[in-house]
Structure 1
C-alpha cells in the first residue's frame, strides 16, 4: 500500500507520498499561506527554479519554455495577477532537471506525476471542469510525447474534497461520467457510473443531485489509459473535512489556496 507521510519544515506540516519518494515534492498545508513559492521551492530543492500558472479550470498543459514564449507574446493566453503576469493553463510538464512545478488548490485535486526512468515530472490542477476535459490524461500524453512510458509513471493525487461531501447536479456528474462512458445520454451515464467498480458516484437524497468523487474519476481515466492502480495513490485527507490543515473553497469561500509542488531530477 502506498503511504502518505506528514513531514515538517520549521514546525509547519506538509504531506509527501511514498510513490514519489525519488522526487523532492510536497503537498503543502494552509500553514504555508504566508510563504511565497520561491521560499517553498527551496524547501524542496535549494537549486530548483519554480514555475506556476494562472489556473483556469481547463486542460491545457505547458512546458516552462512554452510559458516563457506566451509571456513574451502576451495577449489572451496570459493574465496579470497582482504585479506578475502568468500563462493561463492547468498543467505543467518539465523539460529539464531541477524544475519545480507548482499547482494550487482548495478542493480541486492537486496531481503530481513523476517518471522514475526519465526523471521528468508534471503537476496538474484537476477540478471537476478540468477533469471533465481530461486534464490528467492530457498531462500523461505530453509526458509520453517527451519519452515517458506509461509503466514508469507514478501519480499522487493530493488532498481534495471527498466524494461523500461533494454534492453536484446530475448534469455535472454526467459531464464527468462521459469521460468514462462515452456516447451515452445523461440518464445512461448516471446509471453506468453507479455500476462501475470503485464507482465515483454516491447517491444523494435531494432530487436531481448526486455526490461524486472527482479524484476517483481521474484515477479511472488513468486506468483506461493502461496505468495500473498500483501506480496511483489518493491522499487520505479531505480539504472540506480538515479545516485545521486545508483551505476549502466549498467550506469557507475565502479564495485561499494551498500549493503542491514537485521537482524534476
Structure 2
C-alpha cells in the first residue's frame, strides 16, 4: 500500500506520497495561498526552476522549452503572461512543474528510469479529453516506458459529494467505455468493479469519481494499479486543509508540484 505523509514548512502543511519519495514533490494545502509556484519551488528544491500554466480545462500538455518559446511570441511588454495548457512534462533535471486545483484532480507522474516528471490538472473536462494519457504519451516520446511510471493523484472532490449531470458522467465515461449512447455509457460505468459512479436521488444526476476514471484510463494503457496512488482526501470534505470551489465558490487554489531528477 502506498502511504501518504504530512510535512510542515514554516508551520504550514503539505502532503507527499511514498510512491514518489525519490522526487521532491508536494500537494500543498490552502495555507500556502497566495504564494506563487516560484516560492513553493524553493520549499521543494532551492536549485530548481519552476514552471506553471494558465489552466483552461483542456488536454494540452507542454514542456518548459515550449512554454519559453510561446512566451517569447507573446508581446514582450506583457510580463505577467502565462501560456494556456493543463499539463507540463519536464525535459531535464531540476525542473519543477506545477498545477493548481480546487476540486479538480492534481496528478503528479514520475519516471523511475529517466527521472522525468509531469504535473497534470485533470478536471472532468480534461479527464473526458484524456489529458493524463496525453501527458504519458509525451513522456513516452522522451523515452519513458509504461512500467517505469509512478503516478500520484492528490486531494480532489470525492464521488460521495460530486454531483454532476448524467450527460457530464457520459462525456467523462466515453474516455473508457466505447459506447455512443449516453445511457449505455452511464449504465456500463455503474457495472464496473469499484464503479466511478454513485446513484443520486435527483433525476438526471449522478455522483462521479473523476480520480477513478483517470486510474481506469491509465490501466487501459497497461499501467498496473500498484503504479498508481490516490490521496485519501476530499477537497470538499476537508475544509481545514483544502479549498473547494464547489464549497466556497471562491477563485482560490492549492498548488501541487514535482521536481525532475
Question: Where does structure 1 lack aligned partners over 5 or more consecutive residues?
Answer: none
Aligned positions of 1:154-233 closer than 5 A: 154-233=150-229
**2:99 aligned with 1:99:** no
Query: How far did 1:72 drift?
Result: 1.4
Q: 1:130 aligned to 118, 126, 142, which one?
A: 126
**2:10 aligned with 1:10:** yes
Query: 1:33-80 CA distances to partner (integer Å, 9 max, x unpaired)?
Result: 0322222101100100000000000000000000011111228xxxx9
Partner of 1:26: 26
Distance in 2 (alpha carbons) for counterparts of 1:87 and 1:95: 17
SS of 1:34's equivalent in the other structure is coil
Distance in 2 (alpha carbons) for counterparts of 1:105 and 1:246: 10
Distance in 2 (alpha carbons) for counterparts of 1:253 and 1:25: 28
Partner of 1:257: 253
Distance in 2 (alpha carbons) for counterparts of 1:253 and 1:39: 25
Distance in 1 (alpha carbons) for counterparts of 2:144 and 2:79: 36
SS of 1:114's equivalent in the other structure is strand
TM-score normalized with structure 2 length: 0.98
Distance in 1 (alpha carbons) for counterparts of 2:202 and 2:34: 39
Question: Where does structure 2 lack aligned partners over 5 or more consecutive residues?
Answer: none
Distance in 1 (alpha carbons) for counterparts of 2:38 and 2:142: 27
**2:173 aligned with 1:150:** no
Q: 1:246 aligned to 232, 242, 248, which one?
A: 242
Q: CA RMSD in A?
A: 1.3
Partner of 2:53: 53
TM-score normalized with structure 1 length: 0.96
